[in-house]
Amino acid sequence: MQRHPVDRALMLYAMAVPDAPREQLADAPLGARNAALMAMRIASFGRQLSSWLDCSACGERMEFDLDPSQLPPEPTGQHEAIAAEPFEVAGHRFHYPTSRHLARLARFSDPESAARQLLLDCAESAETLPGNESARDRLLAEVEDAIEAGDPWADLSLQVHCPACGHEDQASFDIASYLWEEIDQTVQRLLDDIHTLAGAYGWPESTILGLSETRRAAYLARIDA
What percent of the chain has a predicted confidence (pLDDT) above 90?
69
Q: How far apart are CA 114 and CA 104, in angstroms?
A: 9
Please state the separation of Cα 139 from the chain's center in Å.
26
With contact defined as beta carbons under 8 Å apart, do 193 and 88 qualify?
Answer: no
How, if at all, do strands 61-66 and 49-54 pair? antiparallel
Contact 38, 71 (CB under 8 A): yes
pLDDT the model gives residue 66: 82
| Res 81: pLDDT | 47
Q: What pLDDT is stored for residue 80 in this prediction?
A: 46
- Residue 144 neighbours by CB distance under 10 Å: 15
Q: What pLDDT does residue 48 have?
A: 86
What global pTM score does this model have?
A: 0.86
Residue ranges of the chain with per-residue pLDDT less than 50 = 78-81
Query: What pLDDT, on a 0 to 100 scale, did the predictor assign at position 76?
Result: 59
Give residue-wise pLDDT tens across range 54-101: 988 898 898 888 877 778 887 655 444 456 789 999 999 999 999 999
What is the predicted pLDDT for the residue at 175?
A: 94
In the chain, which ranges are continuous DSSP H helix?
Answer: 5-16, 30-45, 78-81, 99-104, 111-122, 133-150, 175-201, 205-209, 213-224
> In angstroms, rounded to a whole number, what is the distance separating the alpha carbons of residues 209 and 204?
9
